Chain A
Amino acid sequence: MRENMIEVKELIKKYGDVTAVDKISFQVKKGEIFGLIGPNGAGKTTTLRVLSTLLKISEGEVLIDGCDLDKESAEIRKKISYLPEDAGAYKNLTGREYLRFIAEFFDGKVLASKMVKKGVDIADLDKKIDDKIDTYSKGMKRRLLVGRTFMINPKLAILDEPTSGLDVINAREIRQLIKEYAGAGTTILLSSHNMLEVDFLCERISLIDDGKIVESGSPKGLKNKYDAENIEEVFTKVVR
């Protein structure tokens, strides 16, 4: 049996009086691709932000690679790489400069250069990598950020809607990348609206609605259980 990279136990996250995440529990195994699926406002982003040390836990417990999220956030930040939904990069830098800026938080000069090289390869922006980020299209910016996410060889990559707003080709390429890196040992936790994407990528998924996990399992298992053609159908059946 594989060890768990993520263990979430009865996690609650409140914004003031609003309970955005309501006592959810799930585990993600090392090397697994795990998807959080749910409608708008379900609490996906909130969950991912908590796991990436941006928001404090209201109640419950989270372990990431054995570290307690509440007490060892500094340790956890060394292991993870977070790709926020509609994230940006510093406009006045070039793509390469941005990658270098990030890489230097992780390692010495020599290793940082290696990281940057890897990031440049992943982003695959050709000459544009030395242009100002200001001039990038949405898709190019996303590729750069995906490069940034994976270049540091994180133990855990947390991706919030990694392909939203991208054209078919770009989305496909990014999915391919995610699969590749999971194969190379990175654990991946992602959120998505795109049921096809989830079906293609994830080994296991959790359906989240109104802050609660309403169903979990492998895409195949869930399709069988609900006698559904695809995850979209599963989703409608569960939520209804």
Chain B
Amino acid sequence: MRSKGLLNITRKEIKELLTPSTIVPVLVIALFFASMGNIMGGFQEEVEEKPVIGIVNEDSGEHSKTVMSVLEEKSEMVYNGTDRELGSKYVEEKGGTALLIIPENFSNKIDDGETGYIMVRWFMKGMGVMDTVSSGVVEGLIEEINREVSATLIERETHLPSSHLQRPILKEESTIIQERELEDISPSILGGLMSSQSIMIPIITMMLIMMAGGTIISSMGMEKEDKTLETLLTLPIKRSSIVVGKLVGAAVVGLIMALIYMLGFGFYMQTLEVSDMHLADYGLALSLSDYILVGISLFTALLAGLALSLLLGTFAKNYKSAQTLLFPVTALALIPMFVFMFTDIGNLPTVLQGVMYAIPFSHPIIAMRGLMFDNYTIVFGGILYSTIFSIVMIALVTKIFDSDKLVTGSMSKKGGLIDKLSR
């Protein structure tokens, strides 16, 4: 008897929990991670693959031959010649990592006990974590060159100082990013400096959209569950006022939450700021007006997210189904965050670029990075897009508010996909 009851209730629970509304989100997330795995796999290959470089050898001595032999074996050379500018062009076109220049008298200087400088011109493709990986590999190669040259010097039993014997070669570097050349900095250090911006904005955007979106969808779910919506819709107030009122309310709450996050994150970042280098030293810091633009971009993205959430919220039947309906918003907020932590939009395949531009929540992140390099077109474009997106959503929601759907609850009598999901 007892086990029969147990079976009965277990079966009922499973039936209740295994609905399209619980399975579809899990499926989508699984699919997303599977494809993320593919993308990451691509990066993995990039790490294992030989880095693409160019080389200009202006030295004819013995040590430059060592350099060349290491590089020939462990990298893919797309340029090997004497013209620095032409070399730069080649490397950039081939999406290479760096142009290495071995200057005249490189070998002589080392033999005389002076440091030999290899000039490295880095080409950095973006501000994501993955955009500094290949430069790390090349830095490893330079370390290897150092060891080999050092071994040659030690074998010769010269009377040079031991510090020189151990480290005969140093880099003299500059980094080219978004057509700007920054002196004395490598991609990995630059990436570190930018990480506060490049990580903070994606996280804040994601949090903001999810929190505020959740608030507004739940509010719709509650209106239906508590049966307050019918009364609201018979009051002498415009449908559009109800819609905008709900949006503005949630936006204000969202901005307050964002502010709290930013303060917290700001303190966190301050405690991490150990290096005394600053983005300002490289002309990459944002001015006050830039920050205002990022703020506007964030606000329009928030508005777009809220309007989308409200649209989904109109399908909610109760508080629980409202939570399920939040899922598409969550996914749309998570995807840009993950992608842009790894790389910049320019490095994505064209189709994926289109997808990212279509998601309004990408734009604050794109704006932040664009502003570092004074790319205002992309910033204003994003703001405009999010605004239009919001207006279209608000129009749609107002239309639904003005129809029977909100009260009768169903789109069609058979019940469409959204209907099943909101159950």
Q: Which residues of A contact B (CB under 8 A)?
A: 15-18, 49, 52-56, 74, 77-78, 80-82, 84, 86-91, 102, 105-106, 148
Question: Given A49-B407, A105-B235, do A90 and B226 touch, yes or no (CB 8 Å)?
Answer: yes
| Residue in B233, B236, B403, B404 with the greatest tally of chain A CB atoms within 10 Å | B236
Q: Check B413–A17 contact: CB distance below 8 A.
A: yes
Q: Check B227–A52 contact: CB distance below 8 A.
A: no
* Chain B residue at minimal CB-CB distance from A87: B227
Report A-chain residues with C-beta under 8 Å of the C-beta of B234. Answer: 52-54, 77, 80-82
- Chain A nearest CB from B319 CB (Å) reads 11
Q: Give the complex CA separation of A89 and B412 in angstroms.
A: 28
Q: Which 3 A-B pairs have the closest CB atoms?
A: A16-B413, A88-B226, A88-B227
Interface residues on B, range: 10 to 19
Q: Check B226–A91 contact: CB distance below 8 A.
A: yes
| B228 close to A (CB within 8 Å) | yes
Q: Give the complex CA separation of A106 and B412 in angstroms.
A: 35
Q: Check A84–B231 contact: CB distance below 8 A.
A: yes
| B408 close to A (CB within 8 Å) | yes
12 residue pairs of the A-B complex, CB under 8 angstroms, read A52-B234, A53-B233, A54-B230, A54-B407, A77-B234, A77-B236, A81-B234, A82-B231, A86-B227, A87-B227, A91-B226, A148-B231
List residues 148-175 of chain B with CB under 8 A from any CB of chain A.
none
Q: Check B413–A15 contact: CB distance below 8 A.
A: yes
List residues 175-226 of chain B with CB under 8 A from any CB of chain A.
222, 226
Seed contacts A90-B228, A91-B226; 5 additional CB < 8 Å A-B pairs: A15-B408, A55-B404, A82-B230, A102-B231, A105-B235
| B263 close to A (CB within 8 Å) | no
| B237 close to A (CB within 8 Å) | yes
Question: Given A15-B413, A82-B234, do A56 and B404 touch, yes or no (CB 8 Å)?
Answer: yes
Q: Check A56–B227 contact: CB distance below 8 A.
A: no
Question: Given A15-B413, A18-B413, do A84 and B235 touch, yes or no (CB 8 Å)?
Answer: no
Q: Check B228–A88 contact: CB distance below 8 A.
A: yes
| B238 close to A (CB within 8 Å) | yes
Q: Give the complex CA separation of A54 and B234 in angstroms.
A: 7
- Chain A nearest CB from B129 CB (Å) reads 43
Q: Give the complex CA separation of A18 and B234 in angstroms.
A: 24
Q: Would you give the 0/1 interface string for B223-251, flagging 1 where the beta carbon is closer than 8 Å to chain A?
A: 00011101101111110000000000000
Mostly, the A contact residues are loop
Report A-chain residues with C-beta under 8 Å of the C-beta of B412. Answer: 16
* Chain A residue at minimal CB-CB distance from B241: A105
Report B-chain residues with C-beta under 8 Å of the C-beta of A82. Answer: 230-231, 234
Report A-chain residues with C-beta under 8 Å of the C-beta of B413. Answer: 15-18
Q: Check B407–A89 contact: CB distance below 8 A.
A: no
Report A-chain residues with C-beta under 8 Å of the C-beta of B235. Answer: 77, 102, 105-106
Q: Would you give the 0/1 interface string for B304-346, flagging 1 where the beta carbon is closer than 8 Å to chain A?
A: 0000000000000000000000000000000000000000000
Q: Give the complex CA separation of A77 and B239 in angstroms.
A: 12
Q: Give the complex CA separation of A106 and B236 in angstroms.
A: 7
* Chain B residue at minimal CB-CB distance from A91: B226
Q: Give the complex CA separation of A26 and B184 in angstroms.
A: 88
Q: Check B408–A89 contact: CB distance below 8 A.
A: no
* Chain B residue at minimal CB-CB distance from A49: B407
- Chain A nearest CB from B399 CB (Å) reads 12
Report A-chain residues with C-beta under 8 Å of the C-beta of B222. Answer: 91
Q: Check A87–B404 contact: CB distance below 8 A.
A: no
Q: Give the complex CA separation of A86 and B227 in angstroms.
A: 8
Partner of B237, one of A49, A89, A105: A105
Question: Given A15-B408, A16-B412, A55-B407, do A87 and B236 touch, yes or no (CB 8 Å)?
Answer: no
Report A-chain residues with C-beta under 8 Å of the C-beta of B403. Answer: 56
Report B-chain residues with C-beta under 8 Å of the C-beta of A102. Answer: 231, 235
Question: Given A17-B413, A18-B413, A74-B238, do A54 and B227 touch, yes or no (CB 8 Å)?
Answer: no
